[in-house]
Amino acid sequence: MPDSSQRDDEACMREAIAEAAAATSEGKMPFGAVLAIDSVIVARAHNQCPAAAKRGGGTGDVTRHAEMELVRLFTSKLTAEERSNAVLYTSTEP
């Protein structure tokens, strides 16, 4: 039986995967990320790169990966202590 830490990790990973699904439904590449502090999700983001950019047909900003979006949008809102205790979960290894 998994311990509570493993269950928390699995729950956060499921949420990162849900963010990836949200990206797909918006026509973007399927990548998601969540940021958790003490197993509580405090921020979430998904890929903002257009799927067409992967095929060479897009002109969108291809640097807007899920992890970078999360860091850009949310880490400035956290204290230094919160940032040091934060765990980033991603749907795919960066």
Tens of pLDDT along 33-89? Answer: 999 999 999 999 999 887 665 555 445 677 888 999 898 888 889 999 999 999 999
pTM score: 0.82
Identify the CATH number of the domain in which residue 12 sits.
Answer: 3.40.140.10
The dihedrals phi and psi of 90, each to the nearest 5 degrees, come to -125, 150
Would you state the pLDDT for residue 14? Answer: 97
Would you state the pLDDT for residue 29? Answer: 87
Query: Residue 86 is part of which domain span?
Result: 4-90
E-state strands within the chain = 32-37, 40-46, 86-90
Number of alpha carbons in the 13 Å side-chain half-sphere of residue 67: 8
Would you state the pLDDT for residue 56? Answer: 52
